[in-house]
Amino acid sequence: MSIAVFGFEESARQAKALAQSLNAAFEPITVRSFPDGESLVRVTGSASLALLYRSLDQPNAKLVEVLLAAAALRDNGAAQVVLIAPYLAYMRQDMAFNPGEAISQRVIGELVSAHFDGLVTVDPHLHRVASLSEVFPGITALDVSGAPALAAALAGRLQPDTILVGPDSESRPWVESIARPPGLDVLVGEKQRFGDRDVTLVVPGIDAVRGRPAVLVDDMISSGTTLIACAGLLRNAGATSITALATHCLASDSDLARLKENGISEVIAADSVPGPVATISLAPVLAQAIAGQCWTEARRA
Ligand code: R5P
């Protein structure tokens, strides 16, 4: 069976790194935009197992091109097409919170399942579902943890009295798994969200940061509002420095600048979403998860 990683231009570097980790070929996917906004997607090369690499930040534009690319890969002879989307969008809206709202997670899950034989993602933002297979019916869906890559990036960089801080209960698994091997102290906050840029936080036991460096750990940075609220508490409690670490950083340049203005001296993120702070390669953890899988069953009728 031949395997190749197919990647779009914006994340060609990350897709090539994955191909290298898997000892597989990399093939570029090109997109031409027509004046009316349509995309012409072109794949070159072929493989019986095609790993189609694209994170789904800015999903409305990217999803259509990903579906077009999957169809072109099958036309080129792929027996199986697996979507490698290190960042996966539309996972938060898993119910109708208000009458008439679309349940985005279900719609996107069914769409992806209808077009791909498998899905691999990293630290998806799931709330009320226990596993990805509930979201992606009938296909193998892998939920890879980014924590080992984040932990490796911190190794050897931290002073022994550094305290790791998760801003809310959802961040607990990441902050605890990163703190465990070096034996660092952990604090986990409690967050209430009132709007996209309106949160309040309390961090029980925050007095422990006085005179110590703090590292904020979260699965994702969107607007940066959560981290800014937490950084304010840490500054007031006497932290000597504040760094932020996340799997997915979707923050704009202006939001990154706001993080800095609010006392977060450095932001470090994995490269699921390419950007200025996305320096931690996820290729090793993705390759390890993919290598242990076998997408050999015949595609469902
Ligand atoms: C929340 O549930 C997540 O773990 C993140 O804390 C959140 O998505 C970050 O969003 P923002 O940066 O906009 O506060």
The DSSP letter of residue 273 is S
Nearest CA to ligand 1 atom 10: 222
Residues 142-178: tens digit of each pLDDT: 999 999 999 999 988 899 999 999 999 999 999 999 9
**Residue 103: closest CA among 138, 68, 80, 128:** 128
Query: Residue 299 above 80 pLDDT?
Result: no
Q: Which are the contacts of 55, defined by CB distance < 8 A and separation ≥ 6?
A: 11, 62, 85, 86, 87, 88, 272, 273, 274
Rounded to whole angstroms, the Cα distance separating 105 from 250 reads 19
- Kindly report the number of other CB atoms within 10 A of residue 209's CB atom: 25
Residues 221-253: tens digit of each pLDDT: 999 999 999 999 999 999 999 999 999 999 999
Q: Which residues form the pocket of ligand 1, taking CB atoms under 6 Å from any ligand atom?
A: 167-168, 170-171, 218-226
Q: What is the CATH number of domain 147-280?
A: 3.40.50.2020
Nearest CA to ligand 1 atom 2: 170
Rounded to whole angstroms, the Cα distance separating 222 from 233 reads 19
CA of 257 relative to ligand 1 center, distance in Å: 17
- Kindly report the number of other CB atoms within 10 A of residue 29's CB atom: 24
CA of 173 relative to ligand 1 center, distance in Å: 15
Give buried/exposed letters for 182-202 (b at 16+ CB in 10 A, else e).
eebbbbbbebeeeeeeebebe
Dihedral of alpha carbons 74, 76, 79, 81, sign: negative
CA of 8 relative to ligand 1 center, distance in Å: 27
Rounded to whole angstroms, the Cα distance separating 1 from 25 reads 13
Residues linked to residue 195 through DSSP beta bridges, in sequence order: 198
Residues 5-28: tens digit of each pLDDT: 999 999 999 999 999 999 999 999
Q: Which are the contacts of 36, defined by CB distance < 8 A and separation ≥ 6?
A: none
Dihedral of alpha carbons 87, 92, 94, 96, sign: negative
Average pLDDT, the chain: 94
Q: Beta 25-33 vs 3-8: how paired, if at all? A: parallel
- Looking at residue 156, what is its pLDDT? 87
- Looking at residue 193, what is its pLDDT? 94
Q: Which helix (H) or strand (E) holds 187?
A: strand 185-188
- Looking at residue 284, what is its pLDDT? 96
- Looking at residue 292, what is its pLDDT? 77
Residues 106-120: tens digit of each pLDDT: 999 999 999 999 999
Measure CA 127 to chain center: 15
260 is catalytic: no
pLDDT-above-90 percentage for the chain: 91
Pocket-testing residue among 128, 168, 193, 222, ligand 1, by greatest number of atoms within 8 A of Cβ: 222
- Topology (CATH level 3) of domain 3-144+282-291: Rossmann fold (3.40.50)
pLDDT-above-70 percentage for the chain: 97
Residues 188-206: tens digit of each pLDDT: 999 999 999 999 999 999 9
pLDDT band at residue 1 using 50, 70 and 90 as cut-offs = confident
3-class SS of residue 281: coil
- Looking at residue 293, what is its pLDDT? 79
Residue ranges of the domains in the chain? 3-144+282-291, 147-280
Amino acid letter for position 229: A
- Looking at residue 130, what is its pLDDT? 84
CA of 274 relative to ligand 1 center, distance in Å: 18
Residue pair 70/51 in contact by the 8 Å Cβ criterion: no
Dihedral of alpha carbons 214, 221, 66, 13, sign: negative
Q: Tell me the pTM.
A: 0.94
- Looking at residue 78, what is its pLDDT? 96
| Alpha carbon distances (Å) from 285 to 56, 221, 233, 236, 290 | 18, 20, 33, 37, 9
The most distant pair of C-alpha atoms in the chain lies apart, rounded to whole Å, by: 62
Rounded to whole angstroms, the Cα distance separating 43 from 116 reads 16
Rounded to whole angstroms, the Cα distance separating 79 from 50 reads 8
**Residue 105: closest CA among 71, 128, 122:** 128
Residue pair 4/16 in contact by the 8 Å Cβ criterion: no
